[in-house]
Amino acid sequence: MRLALRELRRMPGRFFAVGTALMVIAVLVLVLGAILDGLIRGSTGVLRAQAGPLLVYDDEARQTLLRSRVDADLAEQVADVDGVADVRGLGVTNVTVDPPGETTAEDGLLGLVVVGAEGENRRLTPPGRGEAIADARILDEGFEVGDVVTLPGDVQVEIVATVRDATTNLAPSVWVDLDTWREVTVAVRPDAGLGEGVVQALNVVVEDGRDPLEVAAAIDEATGSTQTLDQEAAVAAIPGVSSQQTVFAAIIAATLVVAALVVALFFVLLTLERSGLYAVLKAIGASTGGLLGGLVVQAVVVAAGAAVGAALLTFGLLAVLPDAIPVELRAGRVAVALTGLLLMSALGSVFSLRRLVKVDPAEAIG
């Protein structure tokens, strides 16, 4: 161990190539993770903003918010279930509007998501009639607080405030009261079936001390026509979320495997180069396990240095990326990715074991 660390300290240039390669791989893993987290958060902000842990859908909607329809009578049944503290309607509609200022046909239309909600949630208190709270990303499209947005159906709302992390479908959102949302939705889709009091889903606040999953089961049993999900399951049910997570996880895993192969190749070649030295060390009593431990220590130290450099480089890179690219680098993602790099580097160094076993101490005697 001491010899391994001493070599790192005295001859760091020997490990520069593998360290640089690992740093590049780590940057790639972190950037991929940041893009994945950005995509997921940009697609799920509306559901994650809800105050209650449960979301109630029509059982024919197949866990899809846009297909679900929950009327006032069904909402009352849900509210009467033991363990339910509050029930709040929720609806989401995709629309297009004219961008602010003077526009031409070449300017195109701006895609927005109109969110109808009632009751205070984790991000905001829904505004009153004729008002809207917009996701902060709408500012990038040229809108400002105080501007009036004309929604489909010639519905006009004034942006009275902005909020962060309240998007869905990677599009800026405007939060309005439920009546305004119904009016806009009917204008976009006259066949939407939105009568008085109809919403797409219910956000359920559970009484203190009650298990949300037990309450969810009780709701579905009481109504016989709903499917109730906790927030995590509702987020996973959003089209594209699970597939994105699967694809990115596979790419990240494959990239970490490449890191292990790079380390394995480097240390196998290094072991061949040191065969004479290892023969001498074995001749004076060094064990194969001890020599392998030194290689593992070197691999982990080099990977740790590469991880620190990659983290700093990634933070700088993400800071200069355009706002249009959805990225978010979370501390948990950094920890998991860099821990994976250390583990795969350690694993890669173990491939040198076969070469170490073949080293004959008799070679040192000649």
- Cα 246 to chain centroid distance, Å, stands at 12
pTM, to two decimals: 0.80
What string of pLDDT tens digits covers the 366 residues of the chain? 677 777 777 787 888 999 999 999 999 999 999 999 988 888 888 899 999 999 999 988 888 888 899 999 999 999 999 999 999 999 999 998 888 865 544 456 888 899 999 888 888 888 999 999 998 888 878 889 999 999 998 999 999 999 888 888 778 889 999 999 999 999 998 887 788 889 999 999 999 999 999 999 999 999 999 999 999 999 888 888 888 889 999 999 999 999 999 999 998 888 888 777 777 777 777 787 888 888 899 899 999 999 999 999 999 998 888 777 788 888 888 999 999 999 999 999 888 877 777 777 766 555
**224 CB neighbour count, 10 Å cutoff:** 8
